Structure 1
């Protein structure tokens, strides 16, 4: 009799579980992994010429500390880096940090050096696909070049970022320096070298990035 009572109890538990599944009630899922944001960039993200904590990546970490306390931001930006340099070091970064989101802010130095646009495109596409293959979502931060680089080169360079985003289905911010480099008082937003944004520009850079980054942070 005791054995039959145990079997009956097991049967009732199994029946209850089956009923719950039939009603669309699922067992609680394991909690999602906290976001890990890896920023692979150049001097625009490496706080060149700024006091520590003033760059947009540091400001991002401060914002996430309030809204997503478990999130981590790894700033792997290197001043002067090109897309070729970023591509060469990305594999180690992915293995080391296992990011959930990768932000790629590279290409400006390719343009400053007059490197072929095709190479920039290939490097960015390879980086994006490598990050996606590692399980990360990708946000590309687009750049533009000043008019003195020539109309054709400028158009071809600017087109690289939406093209890579389209081919890889990555998220895209078309121009990181919107509201900074394209305003009448642009000189006031830059350091004396007229290349690197001043500290006052970095909160604006974060505001440009955030609407494109926030959805990636919330995806399962």
Structure 2
């Protein structure tokens, strides 16, 4: 059995939902249905920033061998306005450390956007920040040579019916969409590896 590590924040953890409703658990159901020999591990922690992920990476890597690593961090960086260069450096460190310890592992980066339009707040530079933040993921995936999920929240962002009342975290139906977004990139990689 091979291991898939989902390393993220509340979006990965399935904030406000039973564990079985999180997208990693839904991916496990797809793996089982497809007869693919993988076990999905959900390392999503609500509130996690890229810096927090960088700090906890070593303890996670000590627990599991990694065949596939899906990195879905950065949303909280965006919400807090953390400098794009800091987020990029932390995500790059995580991807490179996984490659260093598990050279054969497939690495996947999930793209994210700041989950609301910062421009109308009237604060200078926030609209530009949202744009720079959104583009860091594709750029990083390219420079690190990893598979890329263009937008983890595609089809969910800004749709109240697919989010909890906080309008930030996907509800159970929204997590199904996240699972489909991830599976579209993940499945072809897994079929090659299996």
**Equivalent position of 1:75 in the other structure:** 42
Structure 1 position 152, deviation (Å): 0.4
Change (3 A) 1:43 1:106: same
Q: CA deviation at 1:67?
A: 1.6
1:71-130 CA-to-partner distances (Å, cap 9, x unmatched) read 111111111001011111112212211110000010000011111110000011111111
Say which is worse superposed, 198-207 or 87-96, in terms of deviation. 87-96
From 35, 42, 55, give the equivalent of 2:2.
35
Partner of 1:147: 117
Could you tell me how far apart the structure 2 residues matched to 1:218 and 1:63 are? 13
1:107 aligns to 2:74 (yes or no): yes
Partner of 1:4: none
Counterpart secondary structure, 2:70: strand
Of the structure 1 ranges 94-103 and 67-76, higher mean CA displacement relative to structure 2 is found in 67-76
RMSD of aligned C-alpha atoms?
Answer: 1.4
CA contact (8 A) 1:35 1:217 kept: no
Q: Which has the larger radius of gyration?
A: 1
Aligned to 1:201: 174
Residue 179 of structure 1 pairs with residue 151 of structure 2? no
Q: 2:122 corresponds to which residue?
A: none
What is the CA-CA distance between 1:69 and the residue it aligns to?
A: 5.2
- 1:177 deviation in Å? 0.9
In structure 1, the gaps of 5 or more residues are: 1-33
Structure 1 counterpart of 2:161: 188
Q: Is the 8 A contact 1:143 1:158 kept in 2?
A: yes
1:46 is matched with which residue?
13
- Offset at residue 64 of structure 1 (A): 0.9
8 A contact 2:13–2:19 mirrored in 1: no
Runs of 4+ in 1 over 3 A off after TM superposition: none
Distance 1:68 1:41 in 2: 25
Paired residues, number:
184
Residue aligning to 1:157: 133
CA distance in 1, matches of 2:59, 2:35: 26
2:170 aligned counterpart, secondary structure: coil
TM-score normalised by structure 1 residue count: 0.80
The 3-state SS of whatever aligns with 1:219 is helix
